[in-house]
Every structure is written in structure tokens, then in C-alpha cells.
Amino acid sequence: MERLRIWRIGLLISLVTLFLAGCSGDPSLSVLDPKGSAGEIQLNLIYWSLILMTVVFVIVITIFVYVLVRYRKRKGKDIMPEQVHGSTKLEIIWTVIPIAALIALAIPTVQYTFELAETPPAEDTVIIDVTGHQYWWEFKYPQYGITTAQEAHIPVGKKVLFRIHGEDVLHSFWVPSLGGKMDVVPGRVNTMTLDAKQPGMYQGKCAELCGSGHALMDFKVFADKQGDFDKWTASMKQPVASVSATSSEANGEKIFKQNCIGCHAGVSQIKAPNLNKFATRSTIAGILPHNEQNLKIWLKNPQAVKPGTLMPKIDYLNKDELNDLIKYLDSRK
């Protein structure tokens, strides 16, 4: 029995260590550190249920430990326990009390479920049409006529209605620090309302297995102050500045038009991210930090970066051509 107790203490210590080591999610990604009202509501409910459940757990474990210690077989003693059938009184107690606890849980649950399903009034809301593709996200702003990919901008403090569309397989749109997720279902339009209370960058994930590249189907949501958001929308609507005819960017543009534009401007059947204002994006393909080196890595072998992506290898360009293409892409501000 002595050894048993030592094991238990060891287990307890390791659990506590885990707890301490674990209490540090990243603010841009953590459910436990919400930055929007949906996330706050959800975290409230998480904590409320956790408290109730912890109470239950403590009661169970107290009885459990007491019983194990008190009624274990002792050496040299051989008693015959009384063969009790049950106790109606006790059984009623542990039926009624859980029911009461569940009612206390069900009321806010139903209330919040309906609250989160409400669609905000259209005039005061930014609408974003999200489309999930294998393995990237497309964002369209019907009110502003903007199309972009991988990075969405939203104004701080305003309700944002995400209308979620699907074209290929199921995905799920999730920005943990703003609020819970909504599935991308081909043939349906789902809606979800989020807002951000503080400016900042919030990371988004695809949460439904969608193929080889599922793990890397990341995106970002930037919450900007209203002024910055207006600036962003204005700049997105401006056409890309034309490049001088002789520069290497011009050569890059030529290469782009010959090799890339079919998919990246929606002419072809295959849909690829719109690269308007590509230079302003913080990532390449939603995952690699945006720099020249990574752009080369991506272009030369996209499959190695994001398995399953439809982007073909651009490994047939010579060094100069590749540099020109990259210069052109990074000139699209």
C-alpha cells in the first residue's frame, strides 16, 4: 500500500506541473484570451460549466478517496460486508441534484446559442464573404468591392458578418481568439458574427480535415482601428501602380501574365488566391513569413511547403526571370 501512495503523489505532482507548464497560450490564438464579444460569451460559458463540473468532480473524488482508504482489505482481517441492496433516499439525491445543476447550465446555454445566432442589422455591419478552398481562404467585401485572400481586415468595435461559402470539400472557419467556428459546407451559406474589441492580429485555422494540406490552411484576421481600416479599404480599391516598361518589374509582369494569371485572376477553372496588393501581405501561402527567400522556396516547390496544394512548381524559370517575377510580385502594394 505504501508504494501505491507514492505513485499517487507522483501522479499528482506531474499533473500540477502540467498545469503550470500549460498556462501559456498565445494571445493571438488562444480560446482562453478572447478579444471579441463572441469569444467572451463562449469563454463565460466554458468557465461556468467548468466550475459546476469541478464541484461534481471534487465531490466524486472525495467519496472515492475516502472509500478506497477506509474500506480496503486489511491484513489478517476477513470481514463479511453487509449485502446492501441500495438506498432510495441516496439514489434520489444523486438524481435530483445533477438535474438541478444541468438546468443551471442549460439556461445560459440556450440563451447564448440564440444570441450567437442573431444576425446584426445590415447597416451597421461589415459583411465579408468567406470561401474556403483547398487550402486557402478567399475574402470578398461586397460593400467595398474588394477581393483578397489569406488575410482579412476588420474594423475594431464593429460587428462583422462572415457569410461562409464552400466550393470543394468541408472546411471550418475558426479564429480562436475572436470566437468559435463555423463549417464551410459546399452548397450552403453559413453565417457567423464576430467582432474585435482590440486592434491586433488574430490567427485563423481550418478546423475540419480537408486533405493533405489541412494542417497548413492558416489565415489571419487583422483588427484595425476604424481610420486604419478605411485607409486599407481605400488602398485595396486603388489599381496597382503600373511599372515602367523597361524595368525588371516589367519583365516580371510579363512572366506573371504568361504563367500565373490564368489561375490567380480567376480565368481558369482552377481557382487560386487573388494576388492584388500581394506585397502588403505578411505571409506567403498563409504560412511562410513574407520575404524574398521564402517566396523563392514556395515558387520552386510549393508541394514541399504545403502538401496537396494545386499550385504547380515554377522551377523552369532561370535565375533572372525568377528574380524579376519576385520583384514584380513585391511591387504590388
Q: Hey, which residues between 25 and 64 contact other proteins (CB under 8 A)?
A: 25-26, 28-32, 39, 41-43, 45-46, 49-50, 53-54, 56-57, 60-61, 63-64
Among 134, 148, 150, 276, binds other proteins (CB under 8 A): 134
Least distance (Å) from other proteins to the CB of residue 298?
A: 16
DSSP-assigned beta bridge partners for residue 155: 224
Among positive and negative, which fits the CA dihedral 187, 191, 192, 195? positive
Q: Give the total of residues touching other proteins (CB under 8 A).
A: 102
Q: Cell triple for residue 17?
A: 506541473
Least distance (Å) from other proteins to the CB of residue 290?
A: 15
Per CB under 8 A, which of residues 144..173 are in contact with other proteins?
A: 164, 166, 168-170, 172
Q: Does 106 bind other proteins (CB under 8 A)?
A: yes
Q: Does 269 bind other proteins (CB under 8 A)?
A: no
Among 5, 13, 16, 91, binds other proteins (CB under 8 A): 91
Least distance (Å) from other proteins to the CB of residue 143?
A: 22
Among 9, 75, 80, 241, binds other proteins (CB under 8 A): 80
Q: Does 241 bind other proteins (CB under 8 A)?
A: no
Least distance (Å) from other proteins to the CB of residue 238?
A: 33
* Residue 49 three-state SS: helix
DSSP-assigned beta bridge partners for residue 30: none
10 Å Cβ neighbour count for 50? 11
If the CB atoms of residues 110 and 234 are measured against other proteins, the closer one turns out to be: 110
Least distance (Å) from other proteins to the CB of residue 189?
A: 8
Selection from 230, 232, 211 nearest residue 303 by Cα: 211
Among 13, 68, 234, 279, binds other proteins (CB under 8 A): 68
Q: Does 201 bind other proteins (CB under 8 A)?
A: no
Per CB under 8 A, which of residues 290..319 are in contact with other proteins?
A: 307-308
| Helices 248-259 and 319-329: angle between axes, nearest 10 degrees | 90
Burial class (CB in 10 A: 0-12, 13-18, 19+), 280: middle
Residues constituting the chain: 333
If the CB atoms of residues 56 and 234 are measured against other proteins, the closer one turns out to be: 56
Q: Cell triple for residue 196?
A: 474585435
* Largest pairwise CA distance in the chain: 100
Least distance (Å) from other proteins to the CB of residue 234?
A: 32
Spatial distance between the Cα atoms of 82 and 84, rounded to a whole number of angstroms? 6
Spatial distance between the Cα atoms of 81 and 66, rounded to a whole number of angstroms? 17
Residue type, 269: Q
Q: Does 73 bind other proteins (CB under 8 A)?
A: yes
